[in-house]
Amino acid sequence: MSHTIQWSETSVVVTGGTGFLGSVVCRQLAQRGAEVIGVPNRREFDLTTQAGVAAMYDTFEPDVVLHLAAEVGGIGANRRHPGRYFYANMAMGLHLVEEARLRGLKKFVQVGTVCSYPKKARIPFREEDLWKGYPEETNAPYGIAKKSLFVMLDAYRTEYGLPSAVVLPVNLYGPGDNFDPESSHVIPALIKKFIEARERGTDAVRCWGTGTVSREFLYVDDAARGILAAAERIVDPEPINLGTGKEVTIRDLARRIRSLCGFEGEIEWDPSQPDGQPRRCLNTTRARSWLDWTAETSLADGLRRTVEWYEQVRREQAA
């Protein structure tokens, strides 16, 4: 481990830099003095192909790559596109890392996913348990594709000396999240449902599953800080969890969001729909000791900011 990066003197590429997490990472990079931040456009550079990745490196000439780009969705999207999600995530990482090696990159940072953990991993999830079982089936293709890149980076560090870092953020949320009902995750999906139900005067909102499973949620600004801390301090791709270490049941989460959205009707659960992994909660000891990083935003504050942001966007769209 070492402090290796002065952002003001570093050319950095953020794949997925226009996305929910990526845009916050880019904003924080600029706040830390980065002046050359490349954000590859998907229409211009197909990062699932070797040619697209080589063209991206030729265009931006980065010293550091923060690889945030992913093709992913909620449970429904994962069930519809397991093949696409495996291929796209595997191919992007494969080509990006190989080109990083060929070009002598100073640092490659891989953002992984909590979906990589085994379905029955002990709670809280510890990094050393990543390979002790198969992931939850609905998102296994995505999770395994991402996890395979950890092995690639470890092999490239061993054989070629490529410095890299790997972080595993838990489920993210916050202003700017994806509210598309086809692909959104649980928090934006619930916010949208409750606000629309309030506006229509509906008596009840129907939610997937039983509501008994637990999840852990990390505010997007906290996740971005953790990614940049890993980029600055870490040179070996030992996975590092980024989370709050606190879990909440989906039922309790739904009640909190209902209250923040001002919806006064009932919540009905649909147990014919899948719950996904039974529990999710991370051990964050490694992040504290290696990165001097902890999450700063409480779920109450983060949810309030997210609901306020979404209400504001809806008002602007309606105006």
Active site (catalytic) residues: 142
DSSP single-letter state for residue 315: H
SS (H, E, C) 49-87: CHHHHHHHHHHHCCCEEEECCCCCCCHHHHHHCHHHHHH
| Secondary structure class of 164 (helix, strand, coil) | strand
DSSP single-letter state for residue 124: S
Return d(Cα 137, Cα 127) in angstroms, integer: 20
In sequence order, what DSSP letters do the residues of 231-289 get, joined into one string? HHH--S--EEEES-S--EEHHHHHHHHHHHHT--SEEEEETTS---SS---B--HHIII
Is residue 98 a contact partner of residue 160, using CB atoms and an 8 Å limit?
A: no
CA-based torsion, 29, 297, 279, 240: positive or negative:
positive
Return d(Cα 191, Cα 77) in angstroms, integer: 19
CA-based torsion, 121, 127, 128, 132: positive or negative:
positive
